Amino acid sequence: MSTSAPQITRKARIWNLIDTAGMLLVLAILLVICSVFVPNFFSVINFKSVALAVTTIGIISCTMLLCLASGDFDLSIGSVVAFAMVICPVVMAKTGSITAGIGAALFLGAIVGFVNGFVVAQLGINALITTLATMQIVRGLAYITTGGGTVGILKEDFYMLGTGAFFGIPIPVWIMILCFIIFGFLLGRTTFGRNTLAIGGNSEAARLAGIPVVRTKIIIFTLQGLISAFAGIILASRMASGQPSAGLGLELQVISACVLGGVSLTGGIGSIWFVIAGVLIMGVVQNAMSLLNLPAFYQYVVWGSILLAAVLLDRLKQKQLGRK
């Protein structure tokens, strides 16, 4: 500590590498193993289907990253996805306008997020309870909107969003990549992102350092609602319908993907690379298990084990950082 010319030990270097690229390395190794051992894995068509399968989780993970980095989390996203998925076709059917349908869904998603943020940040209520409550309220609203059933979508143009392709890559995948870029930039390269990490690292110190803690948190939750609604709209377009039961358990999958990639559940640690790695690892494992015809019951065990391994690694990293 007080040595004037300190050396960085090899162990510290290895930890730095694990911190920055650890899960990307795991992803690379996983890709190699699956290519060799899983039949039909290594093909352009399969890679496309992996990418398409993770779009919903991938898009929402971007804002969950901000949420986790600031030391909170949001359980209401699955419900917001379903709500947007049914609001969009209902409004479209009423007004005849695609723009109005999308606009209404995005607006309501942002409102849910804002309410979450306001209650958590301004009123100081625990995020677990707050978003658990809104999760149920919004799920209820989704069922009420359709009366419990599925709503069909008759606008052909709207299907483009979910099923179209650009340079041979599905549009939802492009949108996911765009989200990775935008939110990666937001977290890593802007004052907003640094403030987010600081709040997650020590919110009292952040407040006393003049960081607008409440405002930042409200913005994060609002973005979370907005992006979840957006993911719901894309899902509606892909499914050509709105299902009020969609996205059940999605919040846990999204949080798992983030944590798997190395985003800390206790806040302060996060990067878009972690999210990309976590999301793709989930997609690849899911895909490999399907290709290997592993029964669904076993898949639960695999998921749980992977998640446990990820949080154990997180714990080890925390220890290295001197935060016990």
Partner 1 sequence: MSSSVVDHSGLSYCGVSKSFPGVQALKDVSFSAKPGRVHALLGENGAGKSTLLKILAGVYTPTTGHLEIDGQAVTFSSTAASLASGVAIIHQELHLVPEMSVAENLFLGHTPQKGGMVSWADLHARARQIMERLSEHIDPKTKVGRLSIGQRQMVEIGKALSRNAKIIAFDEPTSSLSDREVERLFTVIRDLKATGHVILYVSHRMKEIFDLCDAATVLRDGRHVETYETLDGITQDVLIQKMVGRDLADIYNWRPRQIGDVRLDVAGVQGPGLTQPASFNVRAGEIVGFFGLVGAGRSELMQLLFGGVPRTTGRVILDDAEIPASSPAAAIRRGLVFCPEDRKKEGIFPILSVQENLNISARRSHALGGFIVRDGWERSNAAEFVKKLGVRTPSLAQAIGNLSGGNQQKVILARWLSEEIRAIILDEPTRGIDVGAKSEIYNIIYTLAEAGIAVIVVSSELPEVLGLSDRIIVMSSGRVVESVPRKSATQELLLHLALPTGGQSAA
Residues found near partner 1 in the complex (CB under 8 A)? 1-4, 6-9, 11-12, 15-16, 189-195, 197-198, 201-202, 204-212, 268-269, 318, 320-323
Write down the least CB distance from residue 207 to partner 1, Å. Answer: 6
CB 210 within 8 A of CB 191: no
Q: Which residue has the tokens 């846990």?
A: 252
Q: Which residue has the tokens 């999605």?
A: 250
Write down the least CB distance from residue 196 to partner 1, Å. Answer: 11
What is the C-alpha separation between 302 and 162, in angstroms, rounded? 30
Q: What is the dihedral of CA 213, 219, 224, 226, to 10 degrees?
A: 170
Write down the least CB distance from residue 203 to partner 1, Å. Answer: 10
Write down the least CB distance from residue 241 to partner 1, Å. Answer: 40
Nearer to partner 1, 232 or 267 (CB): 267
Nearer to partner 1, 2 or 293 (CB): 2
CB 56 within 8 A of CB 254: no
CA dist list (Å): 209 to 11, 122, 198, 201, 268: 33, 18, 10, 13, 16
Write down the least CB distance from residue 218 to partner 1, Å. Answer: 15
Buried b (16+ CB within 10 A) or exposed e, 266-297: ebbbbbbbbbbbbbbbbbbbbbbbeeeeeeee
Write down the least CB distance from residue 228 to partner 1, Å. Answer: 24
Nearer to partner 1, 72 or 251 (CB): 72
Nearer to partner 1, 67 or 284 (CB): 67
- C-beta neighbour count of 319 within 10 angstroms: 10
Nearer to partner 1, 7 or 40 (CB): 7
DSSP letter (8 states) at residue 71: T
Please report how many Cα atoms fall inside a 13 Å half-sphere around the Cα of residue 199, on the Cβ side: 26
What is the C-alpha separation between 131 and 64, in angstroms, rounded? 13
Nearer to partner 1, 157 or 204 (CB): 204
